[in-house]
């Protein structure tokens, strides 16, 4: 999301209370003030003093090493310049073939495609939204990202027939992960990739 000084920062919530020692909305804080916060202690004391990174910093550190799913999280400010800012960052780092965009707001994709027409997009859906009957909608994106409880073999088959992929979220239970793999999903979004990788063999 964008902070008050228009940099794209990497943080899960729109507010600071849950994952930092700060308060208020990320969008109302300058990058300098955000950099002064402790964004690691909430997770584990060994991460005390960890800063909120900018997207540019993440790209510089690991952009060449892994494929990155960038979620555009401007849900409280859907008409801001996040899509354009992110697109320029991707181009600046030469990562057009190393990123994938996802969002619950499909308007972001139209704006992104003006700058990065070939970068794939995935439409995130809330629980209960992804049904086999929404296959026509999936055709507008490269992938559908449903909440895991909505995934069925029929949903996966319809998406695959439409030429789309299914990446489901957020799955930390190995039993559930095995069910989803059996249903034919193309990928799983998890908080614990090592645990699931070991469980799935």
Report, as ranges of residue numbers, the positions in the chain whose pLDDT lies below 70: 133-139
**CATH code for 55-200?**
3.20.20.190
Q: Can you give the pLDDT at residue 131?
A: 81
Q: Where in the chain is the domain with CATH 3.20.20.190?
A: 55-200
Q: What is the pLDDT of residues 71-91, one digit of tens each?
A: 999 998 999 999 999 999 999
CA distances from 145 to 140, 141, 167 (A): 13, 10, 5
Q: Can you give the pLDDT at residue 70?
A: 97
Q: What is the pLDDT of residues 140-151, one digit of tens each?
A: 789 999 999 999
pTM here is 0.89
Measured CA to CA, the distance from residue 183 to residue 150 in angstroms comes to: 11
Phi, psi of 146 (to 5 degrees): -85, 155
Longest pairwise C-alpha distance within the chain = 49
Measured CA to CA, the distance from residue 75 to residue 1 in angstroms comes to: 9
């Amino acid at each position: 999301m964008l902070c008050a000084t228009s940099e794209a920062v990497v943080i899960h919530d729109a507010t600071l209370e849950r994952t930092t020692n700060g308060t208020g909305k990320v969008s109302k804080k300058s990058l300098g003030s955000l950099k002064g916060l402790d964004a690691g202690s909430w997770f584990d004391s060994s991460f005390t003093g960890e800063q909120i990174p900018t997207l540019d910093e993440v790209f510089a550190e690991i952009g060449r090493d892994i494929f990155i799913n960038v979620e555009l999280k401007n849900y409280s400010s859907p008409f801001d310049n996040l899509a354009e800012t992110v697109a320029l960052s991707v181009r600046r780092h030469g990562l057009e073939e190393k990123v994938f965009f996802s969002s619950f707001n499909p308007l972001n994709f139209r704006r992104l495609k003006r700058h990065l027409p070939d970068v794939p997009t995935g439409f995130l859906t809330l629980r209960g939204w992804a049904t086999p009957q929404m296959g026509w909608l999936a055709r507008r994106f490269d992938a559908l990202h449903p909440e895991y409880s909505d995934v069925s073999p029929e949903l996966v088959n319809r998406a695959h027939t439409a030429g789309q992929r299914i990446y489901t979220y957020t799955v930390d239970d190995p039993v559930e992960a095995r069910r989803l793999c059996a249903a034919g999903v193309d990928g799983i979004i998890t908080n614990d990739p090592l645990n699931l990788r070991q469980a799935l063999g």
